[in-house]
A = this chain, B = another copy of it.
Amino acid sequence: MKPDTRSALMEAAFGLVRRQGLAATSVDQICAAACVSKGAFFHHFKSKDELAAATAYHWSAVTEPFFEAAPYHTPDDPLERVLGYIDLRREMMAGEIAEFTCVAGTMVQEAWATSPAVRCAAWDSMSRHADALVADIEAAKAARGVELDARGLALHMVAVVQGAFILAKASGDPGIGAESAAHLRRYVEQLFAPAPDLRSAKPGD
């Protein structure tokens, strides 16, 4: 047995999907990129759809350790950790667009209605990512006496990042995505800033 054919296929899909989307990525292309035959592909995955959903879960499995190991966790101040995450996101929006954009976000944009498995897997990926931010947001809230929905803010952060990727793709300029991340940082700073008129209940309410 070759070392982990299944992972090789999914990781081959990362690159292809980020560059051309899910539907335009064929099974043959994935097999070629992973140096695996089509028979082996269908041994491991019942269908292309199953590969796609598994790839979104695998995306989380690969990126989670990266974010967990990132230096933004080091400050004692939880708000600095939240802002550090945003800064990391901003710094990542540089160079090759296909290298910093999100596999799950890309796939769900096309397949949300036609593949429940992909939608579910992508949502799992995104909500897990948001969940990983919630503890620091909660701690920052407690430290500063701020009232807000931590998970709502975390999901908003995910949305901004996903939207920034689309802007970077459309403009061909990673800087435009990074600019949106800078706005997000500014927003979070303001949310937790020690000014009395900024401590309202919930955004929009």
Instruction: Say if the beta carbon of A88 comes within 8 Å of chain B.
Output: no
Instruction: Count A interface residues, CB 8 Å.
Output: 61
Q: Say whether, besides A126-B167, A169-B109, A203-B183, A114 and B19 are in contact (CB < 8 Å).
A: yes
Residues of B within 8 A of A159 (CB): 160, 163-164, 166-167, 177, 180
Are B177 and A24 in touch, CB under 8 angstroms?
no
Contact of A183 among B122, B156, B195 (CB under 8 A): B156
The number of times this chain is found in the oligomer is 2
Residue of B with least CB distance to A182 = B204
Q: Which of A155, A167, A187 has the most CB of B within 10 A?
A: A167
- A118 CB to closest chain B CB (Å) equals 9
A interface residue numbers (CB < 8 A to B): 19-24, 90, 97-98, 104-106, 108-114, 119, 122-123, 126-127, 152-153, 155-156, 158-164, 166-167, 169-172, 176-177, 179-183, 185-187, 190-191, 193, 195, 197-198, 202-205
A-B contact pairs, 29 of them (CB 8 A): A20-B111, A20-B114, A21-B21, A22-B23, A22-B110, A23-B23, A90-B204, A97-B113, A104-B170, A105-B166, A106-B109, A109-B110, A112-B169, A112-B172, A119-B172, A122-B170, A123-B171, A155-B180, A158-B167, A159-B180, A160-B160, A160-B163, A160-B180, A163-B164, A163-B166, A182-B204, A182-B205, A186-B191, A187-B187
